[in-house]
Amino acid sequence: MSITKTNISVQAGTRGKSRRGRNPSIDMAKIENAVREIGGNQADLSMKEVADFLGVNVTTLYRHIGGIDGLRRIRASLSRNDLETLPTADGHTWQSWLRVVSEYYRSALIQHPDLLDFVQAALDPDFETLEQEAKILVGFGFEPRAALLAHSFLITTITGYVHQELQTLEETSTGYTPYYARLFQNLDAHPERLPTLRSVNLSQRDLDRDLNFKAIIHYAVTGIAAQPGAPVDNDAS
C-alpha cells in the first residue's frame, strides 16, 4: 500500500495564503511588483494584502520592509516613474520658471499623496533632479548655496500648502466644513469678534485653491529674490 503526496506550492506573485513550512523567497523587486499590482493610489494598502499576494506571512514581509511605512515609501518611489520630466527653463526668467516648477511639484503631490511623507527621498533618491535644478538656478545667476536654499524653501512651501489642500479636500468629501469655510461662517455670524479679519473683505474667490497657490508661490518667489546670492532680475510679475 502506498501513499501519494500531493505537492502543493504557492508561488510569489499570486494571491493566496502562505503555506506552512519554509516561506517562498522574496526580495525587493518582488515586493515592488506586488505594491505596483495591488497598490495604485488606494489609501488602504495593507501588509496582509501584499503578503498574501507574495505568498508569505506578514512577519516575513515585515523583516524586509519594516512595516506599512515601508510599503508606502515603495509606492511613493514607484510613483516617480509616472511623473513628467522637470519643466524646461527655456524662455523663462528664474521667477517664472520657479512658478512653473511649483505647479509641477504640486500636481505630483496631489496625484500621489504618499509622496508628501517622503517628498525628495522618493522623488529624487539619487539627487539628480536637485543637481539639475541647482544648475539651472546657477545659470540664472544664483550663487550655488543660494540656489540650494531656494529649492529647499520652495519645496517646503509647496509641501505645506498641498498638505493643507488635501486635508481640505478630505474634510469636504466627508461632510466636514474646512477651516477657511468655517472662518466665513464665523465672520457672517459674529463679525464683531474678528474685526481685523472682517476688514479683509474676504469672498468666495479667496477659497479658490489654484488662486491661493499662485499667491503663496508669489510670496515665496519674492522672498527668494530678497535673499543674499539671488540674482537681480527685473521680472516683477
Specify the pLDDT at position 134: 96
CATH no. of 84-225: 1.10.357.10
**What integer best gives the mean pLDDT of the chain?**
83
pLDDT tier for residue 24 given thresholds of 50, 70 and 90: low
**pLDDT higher for 55 or 7?**
55
* Cβ–Cβ under 8 Å, residues 93 and 224: no
Please state the rounded mean pLDDT for residues 74-95. Answer: 85
In the chain, the amino acid numbered 149 is L
In this structure, the number of other CB atoms found within 10 A of the CB of residue 75 comes to 24
Specify the pLDDT at position 204: 84
DSSP string, 32-77: HHHHHHHTTT-TT--HHHHHHHHTS-HHHHHHHH-SHHHHHHHHHH
Please state the rounded mean pLDDT for residues 153-169. Answer: 93
Please state the rounded mean pLDDT for residues 127-138. Answer: 94
Kindly compute the dihedral angle of the four CA atoms of residues 119, 162, 211, 185, in this order, to the nearest 10 degrees. Answer: -170
Please state the rounded mean pLDDT for residues 102-128. Answer: 82
For the segment(s) 28-80, the CATH number from 2.60.40, 1.10.101, 1.10.287, 1.10.10 is 1.10.10
Domain boundaries, the chain: 28-80, 84-225
Specify the pLDDT at position 194: 94
* Cβ–Cβ under 8 Å, residues 177 and 185: yes
Specify the pLDDT at position 73: 78
| Cα 174 to Cα 68: distance, rounded to the nearest angstrom | 24
pLDDT tier for residue 7 given thresholds of 50, 70 and 90: very low
Specify the pLDDT at position 28: 86
